[in-house]
């Protein structure tokens, strides 16, 4: 197909998109960089090497990595069940996956407080077991797990739907058991989608704010993630610390987004080329 020359209407639309994206993304990033480096590079370095920031960053990374580990297993299982199994309530379960998109993270944190807080339904049982969820890291982990639920499942569902079933049947005919079929035939075809889903999940978990603030309380040195550190620094008018932390978190996010886009591009090329995993 020959490329068409852009007319006046197309250029107007392109210009509108560029202005819109620049206003929403480029302008805030520029203002953030200017604010961070307003007092020089030394102030930025002091901000990102402070003990408070490093502790918050380490907590954010720990929660995000644990969430990625759990979602890699259960997100894939959810997608597999929705594609390969038929059961009553399947449509309802499929709709529930998208609930984190519709529910405010603050509401999520509040719901967890109603369950695990001092007056929560599950608090007496957890208290007897010596388990603390509200205003502690486990509660923050559960909140992040909830808000990041859709990313892995929604990425894996179309990938599983597009699997080449003939290769599975061929492997089974040759005597391969279910585990061999999965790891030698199915999994190689899902790798790109899996990595893309994990990348989006990690980015979402790393940037969570509202839910972890409500359920964790933002206690400095204990339940303060990087986003909560930025929020506290702004409240205390420690603007350089807040700007510096935001830039570093933004760099993480940009790198993650570019990695995810590259994975998606390669995966699309493989699908267009019709590449298939070899039956071994």
- The band of 277, judged by pLDDT with boundaries at 50, 70 and 90, is very low
41 vs 143: which has the higher pLDDT: 143
pLDDT at 66: 95
The answer to whether domain 22-273 has CATH 3.20.20.70 is: no
Task: Look at 23-37, 149-163, 201-215, 234-248 and tell me which has the smallest mean pLDDT.
Answer: 23-37
pLDDT at 276: 47
Task: Tell me whether residue 211 is exposed, middle or buried, using C-beta atoms within 10 angstroms of its C-beta: 0 to 12, 13 to 18, 19 or more.
Answer: buried
DSSP code, position 185: I
- The band of 122, judged by pLDDT with boundaries at 50, 70 and 90, is confident
Residue whose C-alpha is closest to residue 267's, from 157, 164, 193, 158: 193
- The band of 5, judged by pLDDT with boundaries at 50, 70 and 90, is low
Span 59-94, pLDDT tens digits: 999 999 999 999 999 999 999 999 888 888 888 988
Span 173-205, pLDDT tens digits: 777 767 777 777 777 778 888 888 888 899 889
Please calculate the CA angle 2-5-273 and round it to the nearest 5 degrees: 35
Distance CA 225, CA 73 (A): 25
Residue whose C-alpha is closest to residue 161's, from 215, 106, 84, 223: 84
Whether 221 has a pLDDT exceeding 80, the answer reads yes
- Which is it for the CA torsion 5, 10, 12, 17, positive or negative? negative
DSSP code, position 24: I
How far is Cα of residue 193 from the mean position of the Cα atoms in its chain? 14
- The band of 270, judged by pLDDT with boundaries at 50, 70 and 90, is low
| 229 and 245 Cβ atoms separated by less than 8 Å | yes
pLDDT at 271: 56
Q: If you average pLDDT over residues 242-250, what whole number do you get?
A: 86
Residue whose C-alpha is closest to residue 213's, from 111, 105, 122, 121: 105
Instruction: Quote the longest CA-to-CA distance of the chain.
Output: 71
Task: Tell me whether residue 268 is exposed, middle or buried, using C-beta atoms within 10 angstroms of its C-beta: 0 to 12, 13 to 18, 19 or more.
Answer: exposed
Range among 22-31, 186-195, 208-217 with highest mean pLDDT value: 208-217
Whether 278 has a pLDDT exceeding 70, the answer reads no
pLDDT > 70: percent of the chain? 90
3 vs 143: which has the higher pLDDT: 143
DSSP code, position 1: -
Distance CA 124, CA 131 (A): 10
Average pLDDT, the chain: 83
| 50 and 241 Cβ atoms separated by less than 8 Å | yes
Q: Number of C-alpha atoms within 13 angstroms, CB side, residue 132?
A: 5
- The band of 274, judged by pLDDT with boundaries at 50, 70 and 90, is low
* Domain ranges, ordered by start, for the chain: 22-273
pLDDT at 145: 94
């Amino acid at each position: 197909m020959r490329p068409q020359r852009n007319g006046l209407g197309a250029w107007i639309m392109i210009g509108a998109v560029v202005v819109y994206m620049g206003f929403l993304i480029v302008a805030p990033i520029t203002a953030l960089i200017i604010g961070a480096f307003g007092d020089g590079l030394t102030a930025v370095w002091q901000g990102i090497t402070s003990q408070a920031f490093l502790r918050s960053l380490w907590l954010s990374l720990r929660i995000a990595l644990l969430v990625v580990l759990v979602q890699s297993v259960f997100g894939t299982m959810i997608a597999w069940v929705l594609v390969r199994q038929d059961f009553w309530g399947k449509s309802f379960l499929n709709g529930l996956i998208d609930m984190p998109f519709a529910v405010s993270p603050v509401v999520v944190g509040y719901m967890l407080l109603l369950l695990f807080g001092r007056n929560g339904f599950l608090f007496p049982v957890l208290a007897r077991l010596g388990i603390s969820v509200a205003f502690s890291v486990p509660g923050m982990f559960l909140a992040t797990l909830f808000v990041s639920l859709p990313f892995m499942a929604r990425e894996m569902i179309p990938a599983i739907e597009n699997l080449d079933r003939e290769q599975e049947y061929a492997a089974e005919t040759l005597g391969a058991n279910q585990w061999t079929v999965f790891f030698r035939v199915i999994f190689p075809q899902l790798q790109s989608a899996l990595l893309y889903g994990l990348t989006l999940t990690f980015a979402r978990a790393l940037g969570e704010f509202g839910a972890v603030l409500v359920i964790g309380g933002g206690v400095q040195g204990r339940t303060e993630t990087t986003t909560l550190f930025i929020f506290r620094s702004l409240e205390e008018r420690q603007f350089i610390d807040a700007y510096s932390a935001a830039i570093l978190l933004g760099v993480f996010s940009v790198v993650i987004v570019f990695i995810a886009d590259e994975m998606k591009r390669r995966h699309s090329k493989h699908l267009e080329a019709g590449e298939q995993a070899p039956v071994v």
